[in-house]
Amino acid sequence: MERKCLKILAFATLMLMAAVSCKKDEEDEEWQAMAGDLVYDMPAYAVVNQKVSSYVTGITTPASPRYFWVSHNIDISETDTLYAQSISFTMPSTPGTYSITVFARADGYYSKSSTSEIQVIKADMSAIGGWSEGTSSVTDERDGEVYPTRVIGSLEWFVQDLRYDGTESGGDTLGRPYDDSEGIDNIFGRLYSWNDATGGVKGSGLGGGPQGACPEGWSVPTDEDWLDLAAAAGGEGETFFGNWPGLGEALSAPVSINGNAMWPYSPDNMHTNTLGWNGFPNGNSRDHYGEFENISVYGMWWSSSGMEDGMVPYRYIYYNADNFGAYYTDPESYGVSVRCVRLAR
């Protein structure tokens, strides 16, 4: 009798599992995946109390989905969920890592969710570790910004990327902060097209670059300036378009933000920053500041020495290699960082 009861119980359990499975299958059939991908902008880095706005789209089927934003550590609404296609909120006043998730729903349809992490930082270098403050400093008289400097080889270099925006002199805005996230350029500098950086003027010879976006008395480095830096860092007999092995490691800083390493770990580049040049992985822009990419992966800096075919060169450091490479692009669509130099006094 006991064995018969156990068989009946096992059969009943199987039937219940089958019923639940069928019900789940029916529910899965009722819900269909939406067509299209969620498209929205959210900054990778923001400063404390920064206002952020975004707009989500991308779903093509059904025609009018409902979009939802969810965050458990950013105040986006009276609850942690906001139903809207657009969103506007203020970042927290405490530095740290915050996240926000967006998804879409409609009757019988669902989308995958997308989560963005945002590093919230102070608008100064106090929360940044792993960089060298330089041996001197210079004040840009146009906007009062102060830059640390260091003599390396035959030249005095900014050891922080340029952040001049051009508006103090009533001119056009020069460059953009990464993700158009205003305030983070106090840390990372701005990204400039070659034309914005140089004023469209080529340079040549040691210390012979154009002033461009740099302060008076300073210039955008030429190929010869970069070669001088390479020699000071231990490179020998290099051409500008050489690979410069080991110099990417020597010139990049082990920068940390909120205690987190900005460069991803790689045994091939330990970011020794032996000369205190402070290479940061500030990424780049594309399509004349229309898109931003490669922050925490690449650092890139212009040379003012244009090429005969109208292309323009830049140097780069990649997190997963120890070299200090060079490449080229057109003078308008790409945006990278700028260092300013002058002949050592």
Tell me if 95 sits within 8 A of 121, measured CB to CB: yes
Whether 23 maps to a domain, the answer reads no
Res 114 pLDDT > 90: yes
CA angle at 274 for the pair 304 and 231, rounded to the nearest 5°: 50
- The structure tokens listed for 239 are 């051409």
Whether 12 maps to a domain, the answer reads no
Same domain flag for 232 and 285: yes
Specify which residues 124 forms β-bridges with: none
Same domain flag for 132 and 178: yes
Confidence of residue 17 (pLDDT cuts 50, 70, 90): very low
Q: Count how many domains the chain has.
A: 2
How far apart, in Å, do the first and last CA atoms of the chain sit? 103
- The structure tokens listed for 223 are 């190929």
Tell me if 315 sits within 8 A of 122, measured CB to CB: no
Rg (CA), the chain: 26
Same domain flag for 116 and 180: no
Whether 193 maps to a domain, the answer reads yes
Res 11 pLDDT > 90: no
Whether 21 maps to a domain, the answer reads no
* Other beta carbons less than 10 A from residue 93's beta carbon: 8
Whether 2 maps to a domain, the answer reads no
Same domain flag for 110 and 197: no
CATH code of the domain containing 76: 2.60.40.10
Confidence of residue 18 (pLDDT cuts 50, 70, 90): very low
* Other beta carbons less than 10 A from residue 258's beta carbon: 16
| Element housing 309 (H / E) | none
pLDDT tens readout for residues 225-279: 999 999 999 987 679 999 999 999 999 999 999 889 999 999 999 999 999 999 9
Of 14-28, 94-108, 294-308, the one with minimum mean pLDDT is: 14-28
Cα–Cα distance for residue pair 282/333, rounded to 1 Å: 17
Helix (H, G, I), strand (E, B) or coil at 312: strand
Percent of the chain with pLDDT over 70: 91
pLDDT tens readout for residues 121-149: 998 888 899 999 999 999 999 999 999 99
Whether 204 maps to a domain, the answer reads yes
Question: Across the chain, what does the average pLDDT equal?
Answer: 90
Res 28 pLDDT > 70: no
pLDDT at 127: 80
In what order do the strands lie in the sheet containing 260-261?
Answer: 128-129, 256-257, 260-261
pLDDT at 170: 72
237 or 203: which carries more pLDDT confidence? 203
* Residue among 118, 235, 112, 273 nearest 184 (CA): 118
pLDDT at 3: 38
Helix (H, G, I), strand (E, B) or coil at 284: strand
- The domain boundary, picked from 121, 145, 169, lies at 121
- The domain boundary, picked from 81, 105, 121, lies at 121
- The domain boundary, picked from 70, 92, 121, lies at 121
Segment 86-113 shows an average pLDDT of: 95
- The structure tokens listed for 51 are 């206002």
Domain that holds residue 64: 33-121
